[in-house]
Amino acid sequence: MALPIQQQARIWAIIAVVTFVLLWLLGDVILPFLVGGALAYLLDPVADRLERLGLSRAMSVAVIALGVVLIFAAAVLLLIPTLIRQTSQLVQTAPELFSGLRDWLAARFPDVMDESSTIRGQLDAIGAAIQARGGEILNGLLTSAMGVINLLVLFVVVPVVAVYLLVDWDRMVARIDELLPREHAPTIRQLAREVDRTLASFVRGQGLVCLILGTYYAVALALVGLNFGLVVGAIAGLVTFIPYVGALVGGVLAIGLALFQFWGEWVWIGAVAGIFVAGQMIEGNILTPRLVGSSVGLHPVWLLFALAVFGALFGFVGMLVAVPIAAMLGVFARFGIARYQESALYQGTATAMPPPVSPPPSPASDKTRPEDAWRGN
């Protein structure tokens, strides 16, 4: 006998609440497993493509792991030390930057920037706070024993989890497909395909956009000769997944540093500004349309709201799961709106349109794999 829809909804609501409570209680303990699972999800299409080229699943994972190790080793040897050094220098230079800004304002607005001015006091306080807090954070990350242990655990556990999940990914998806409630399995598969398509378009595509733009900003600013160009490029690329925010934050930071470094040399200041104008044009006209697409369904405001809410509730772990959960909620919301528009509640006294009939599950003789039925591409 089938369970009433109200009882089914109650059971799934309890499961969702328990999941969120566990996420909140476990906190940073599950961080390596979440990161490992995310890496396995991102790399699964690469493993599938290598399998289609004739490699076994284990060999495909081994090739991917070797490539990731080489890329990581190159980053550790070439980029990360420079990035840490420039970040530390930027933190130490912040009071001097704010002092220069204060002197510039004092020269042009003497009445506003006198000794008792609130604005002058705030600028001094901000510069001192950045130096103090930034130094504390860097020293804590680099010298704290617990921080080093956590970092080592992250670098050890994440690759192991990612490799094991990547090897068994197709089997896990097939097992989950077997556990779906038979009455709703076609609908759940349809929603899973839409979620996968949204995540694939946004996370994988936007990740490439962030990497390309971050590299472009860092290289271009270094060629111009801007101090801390690598840090500015990394920051701009990191937040590029929010439209316009990456260019805005990176542009303001870079132009501010350029004004301090190249004051009076307007050509170089204009070159720094032109780098971000060109980057924004490349992102909007070439990278985003080709790598992300126009029908992802994640509005920037909705994404910002999800990051703020989950970050406040669950900390850094919440920010990691904010994007996939936002994508899932967006798909569920569109599904619910479509069902509402087909119902008598929306259409009134008119005859409600029957919901679309999902195709029956493929027969056992069909060679389509369960993981392909979940995948949006």
Instruction: Write down the pLDDT at residue 239.
Output: 78
Q: What is the mean pLDDT of the segment spanning 335-353?
A: 76
Q: What is the mean pLDDT of the segment spanning 208-219?
A: 86
Using CA atoms, how far apart are residues 71 and 69, in angstroms rounded to an integer?
A: 6
Instruction: Please say if the pLDDT value at position 377 is more than 70.
Output: no
Stretch among 26-35, 61-70, 127-136, 245-254 having the lowest mean pLDDT: 127-136
Instruction: Write down the pLDDT at residue 93.
Output: 65
Instruction: Write down the pLDDT at residue 63.
Output: 92
Instruction: Please say if the pLDDT value at position 30 is more than 70.
Output: yes
Using CA atoms, how far apart are residues 16 and 71, in angstroms rounded to an integer?
A: 38
Q: What is the mean pLDDT of the segment spanning 310-339?
A: 79
Mean pLDDT computed over every residue of the chain: 75
- 184-204: string of b/e by CB count within 10 Å (b at 16+)? ebbbbbbbbbbbbbbbbbbbb
Q: What is the mean pLDDT of the segment spanning 122-144?
A: 54
Instruction: Please say if the pLDDT value at position 359 is more than 60.
Output: no
Give the pLDDT band (50/70/90) at residue 323: confident
Instruction: Write down the pLDDT at residue 298.
Output: 66
Q: What is the mean pLDDT of the segment spanning 304-330?
A: 77
Give the pLDDT band (50/70/90) at residue 77: confident
Instruction: Write down the pLDDT at residue 204.
Output: 75
Instruction: Please say if the pLDDT value at position 151 is more than 70.
Output: no
Instruction: Please say if the pLDDT value at position 317 is more than 50.
Output: yes
- 66-76: string of b/e by CB count within 10 Å (b at 16+)? eeeeeeeeeee
Give the pLDDT band (50/70/90) at residue 255: confident
29 or 64: whose pLDDT is higher? 64
Using CA atoms, how far apart are residues 376 and 371, in angstroms rounded to an integer?
A: 10
Instruction: Write down the pLDDT at residue 352.
Output: 47
Instruction: Please say if the pLDDT value at position 200 is more than 60.
Output: yes
Instruction: Please say if the pLDDT value at position 68 is more than 80.
Output: yes
CA 257 to each of CA 215, 229, 232, 371: distance values in angstroms, whole numbers, following the listed order: 19, 9, 10, 49
Instruction: Please say if the pLDDT value at position 294 is more than 60.
Output: no
